[in-house]
């Protein structure tokens, strides 16, 4: 990569409706819609281990947090 050929563009000013315009753009581009939908599903249901593990410890195993990191006495 030639650093001399790189140039920084000026940021666009914020306007009302930019978020909706971006969502409409993704909706119209099917090549972007599928990967973004898959990321949403995985992030929503697959990456919430902190919540899932805490709920399982309390509801399924009837335990809580232990200071020793092991099973309660």
Show pLDDT as tens, one digit a residue, over the chain (73 residues). Answer: 888 899 998 988 889 999 999 999 988 998 998 999 999 988 888 777 777 777 777 777 767 666 555 555 5
Domain extent for 31: 19-63
Assess if residue 24 is contained within a domain. Answer: yes
| 6 lies in some domain | no
Q: Is residue 10 part of a domain?
A: no
Domain count, the chain: 1
Tell whether 53 is covered by a domain: yes
Would residue 29 count as lying in a domain? Answer: yes
At CA 22, angle to CA 31 and CA 7, rounded to 5?
Answer: 90
- Is 5 part of any domain? no
User: What is the pTM for the complete model shown?
Assistant: 0.46
pLDDT at 69: 55
Q: What was the pLDDT predicted at 18?
A: 92
Identify whether 38 is part of a domain.
yes
* Lookup: tokens for 42: 């995985």
Q: Is residue 39 part of a domain?
A: yes
């Amino acid at each position: 990569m030639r650093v001399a050929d790189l140039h920084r563009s000026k940021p666009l000013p914020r306007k009302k409706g930019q978020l909706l315009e971006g969502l409409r753009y993704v909706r119209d581009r099917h090549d972007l819609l599928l990967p973004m939908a898959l990321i949403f599903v995985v992030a929503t249901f697959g990456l919430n281990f902190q919540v899932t593990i805490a709920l399982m410890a309390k509801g399924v195993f009837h335990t809580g947090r232990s200071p020793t990191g092991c099973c309660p006495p």
